[in-house]
Amino acid sequence: MSAELYNNQERHLVAVDCIIFGYEDGELKLLLFHRGIVPAKGEWSLLGGWVNTDETIEDAAERVLMQTTGLKDIYLEQVHVFSEPERDPGGRVISIAFNALVDIKKHNKELVREHGAHWWGISELPKLIFDHDQMVSKALEKLRQKASYEIIGDRLLPEYFTISDLRTLYNAIFQTEFDPGNFRKKMLTLDALKKTNRKDTSGSKKGAFYYKFKTDSKINMGKKIKIV
């Protein structure tokens, strides 16, 4: 069993591209980068990086995110593999798209600025290079699906937040307006949130209680996948 067993086979460049979601000012946002290398230098793109021999693709995505945003322990999820031979005019690159959910408040703004990055509202994205538009579209689809089955705020919101914050996040994700009363009831029946006794008075005169996620997160939405 040597490493040369498969030597007759073609080898490929493998990359990861990260769709970095954040949430700020009631809007779902994506972190995009001015591409620093040819081809398409200077255009907007997702955060990408090469996969090395001694790491998994998840490791690679984590490393690239750490180097660029200073964040660690980021939620990552595979989205889709893009492998059109001509997708990157610079050469044949197989790229795995990853969803990354980050708390905008926490990332290292210096690092990000250095890398020529900018947060864009989900509904006003610029044209992206290559097939990155497709990646974003798949990523959003996946994010919505995920958000349908579990509360995903724990990665996008700060530690303490109000139910209204959570609702506004969901409004942004699904581009709709959820009924405040029904939304609250649904979220509370899931038994994933812990009420604190502090209030946020910035949003209303009455003030809204802060909640936080229970430690055993990963609560599902009760919508069991089930047919018939």
Partner DNA sequence: ACAAAAGTGTTTCGGCTACACCCATGC
Partner DNA sequence: GCATGGGTGTAGCCGAAACACTTTTGT
Site of interaction with DNA (CB under 7 A): 162-164, 179-182, 184-186, 189, 201, 203-209, 222-223, 226, 228
Does 166 help bind a second copy (rule: CB under 8 A)?
no
In the complex, the smallest distance separating the C-beta of residue 105 from a second copy, rounded to whole angstroms, is 25
> Nearest Cα to 70, choosing from 44, 105, 120?
105
Residue 85: name its binding partner from a second copy, DNA, none (Cβ under 5 to 8 Å by kind): a second copy
Residue 76: name its binding partner from a second copy, DNA, none (Cβ under 5 to 8 Å by kind): none
**Complex with DNA: residue 60 or 192, whichever CB lies closer:** 192
In the complex, the smallest distance separating the C-beta of residue 77 from DNA, rounded to whole angstroms, is 24
Query: Which residues are within 8 A (CB) of 160 and not within 5 positions of it... i.e. 6 or more apart?
Result: 196, 198, 210, 211, 212
CA terminus-to-terminus distance, the chain: 50
Buried b (16+ CB within 10 A) or exposed e, 125-154: eeebbbbbeebbebbbebbeebbeebbbbb
In the complex, the smallest distance separating the C-beta of residue 106 from a second copy, rounded to whole angstroms, is 26
Helix 163-174 crosses helix 180-189 at what angle (to 10 degrees)?
Answer: 110
Contact by Cβ (8 Å): 216, 191: no
Q: Residue 135 corresponds to which amino acid?
A: M
CA distance 88 to 40: 10
Residue 145: name its binding partner from a second copy, DNA, none (Cβ under 5 to 8 Å by kind): a second copy
Q: Specify the residue for token string 């089930």.
A: 226
Using CB under 8 A, which residues numbered 82 to 101 contact a second copy? Answer: 83-85, 89-94, 96
Show the site string, 38-67: x = touches a second copy by CB under 8 A, - = not: xx----------xxxxxxxxx---------
Phi, psi angles (nearest 5°) of residue 84: -55, 130
Does 81 help bind a second copy (rule: CB under 8 A)?
yes
Question: Which residues of the shown chain bind a second copy in the complex (CB under 8 A)?
Answer: 1, 3-6, 9-14, 38-39, 50-58, 78, 80-81, 83-85, 89-94, 96, 144-145, 147-148, 170, 174, 178-179, 182-183, 186-187, 221, 223, 225-228
